[in-house]
A and B are shown apart, each in its own frame.
Chain A
């Protein structure tokens, strides 16, 4: 507290301009601490896909900002998000990453909680005359979900999730079409950390500009037809600000709606898969699975921690001002053909994760940003690509271009709004 008092209050509004943000946003520990409070404790934060907590008794341990939480499915089938902290002396009550359980028992003194967080039992209760167990349940966060995406918030009076998502809902619906009629499920994840600020990653899922350069090695490893498809700067794509810090970047307009063009020729690289599928499935199912197997042609960035990124979920978790953890959650068709799901896993492994042909190159670029900003701490991070000289952001379908930094500008305007609130 002494250090905080010794320092002038930070004027966040001065740090975010329409076309640039100050380098302090990547480096300043006080700003990071304020973000964890003003942003991560005050908005909807993505915590799970419903398929990860499918059955009563299922749980998943994760974080909201820096706080460890448990996502549970109660016996009644309700979703709960609970702070992972015993109300007695503070120990975590759950150390598993995911699984099934009927209760959470604190290992220290044995306080026992139900899946809904209610305190059920306290050993040797006579030592607590008049204990009202209802005062000591695990702290519950507010939970809402949309199209299988589960969000939690520490702010009980926040607007409904549906309002927060706004126009992003339409893009979530489009994204989920990669379930090919079977629905979407989480199918494993790659987790890695990079030495850099979380907003460097937040920017990246709406950054088409880096793709042909940073991912040249990946592009060299795919067939010509796929290479043409992934020539993302030349497909007539666009970026659109969807409000509340959310944005969509359409890289391959032909793959926006995966339920259209089902009679288009099957790409060469999926001919083997189509042949496999035809053994057990009618042609319309084959077509739908093949059309959806590579994912959508867009990245939907949801402020602050989730992106629905072409064929997977990208989740970011701030660790410290200069360290961030990324999960790339693979997507499968829920109950869909095994051959199609295996093809999806192999595609995911090809690009994503610590040994993928894409992610390590991203991580290297991000780490280089964090190292570089040690120089010129008073300089600015430029986000002016695609902005006209008059300051007008030409965005949306038919306007601007896919490599415009419109999505980053949208996210930082939300950042400013929340930090100044």
Chain B
């Protein structure tokens, strides 16, 4: 937490952050990926680490480590028709809860919460549970994502193909 956008702007409240995160979850379950991209600040990072302990995401192997360019490429892939895993992607329903404010600095809030995501593909349901940590900033009157870290509880186990966003 080092980036203060504007000293005169207040950080999002926990309530605002929760509403933002719920709305993001709804966008992802409905695969509204183009709208999801709009939630981000340009310098934001979306990361799904493997190592449960790591904080240095650039120096370790992740499932996804997306800057703006990779987020756009990923959304292009997920909204296109050329990937056979995407055209057959699982449907998902996710619940986000157990919100806790970790830190507030300047116009930013850091929130941790739990996510239970159930995917369904060809009659098989699979559960991905994880901790989500969000850095959310108030920027020109709206809330924007600076960082989202998805720590799956089974990150070091074998997963299935995931052709959607966690």
Contacts and interface: CB of A to CB of B under 8 A. Distances in A.
B61 A330 contact: yes
Given A338-B59, A359-B161, A220 B82 contact: yes
A121 interface: no
Interface residues of B, number: 32
Nearest to A344: B61
B85 interface: yes
A345 B60 contact: yes
A380 to B, nearest CB: 24
Nearest to A346: B65
Contacts of A326: 158
**A contact residues, range:** 35 or more
B61 A220 contact: no
Contact of B85 (A188, A190, A345, A360): A360
A330 B63 CA distance: 12
Given A338-B59, A345-B60, A355-B48, A216 B161 contact: no
A193 B160 contact: yes
Contacts of A192: 158-161
Interface in B80-135: 80, 82-86, 88
B157 interface: yes
Interface in B33-81: 48, 50-51, 58-65, 70, 73-74, 76-77, 80
B61 A217 contact: no
Contacts, number: 95
Contact of A354 (B63, B74, B76): B63
A191 B158 contact: yes
Contact of A220 (B60, B80, B158): B80
A364 interface: yes
A357 B77 contact: yes
B158 A189 contact: no
Interface in A342-361: 342, 345-346, 348-350, 353-355, 357, 359-361
A97 interface: yes
Nearest to B165: A355
Contact of B64 (A187, A330, A341, A355): A355
A1 B157 CA distance: 34
26 contacts: A187-B61, A188-B61, A189-B50, A190-B61, A191-B157, A193-B159, A214-B84, A217-B80, A220-B77, A330-B61, A338-B59, A342-B59, A345-B58, A345-B60, A345-B61, A354-B161, A355-B64, A355-B162, A355-B166, A357-B74, A357-B77, A359-B161, A360-B85, A363-B85, A364-B161, A368-B84
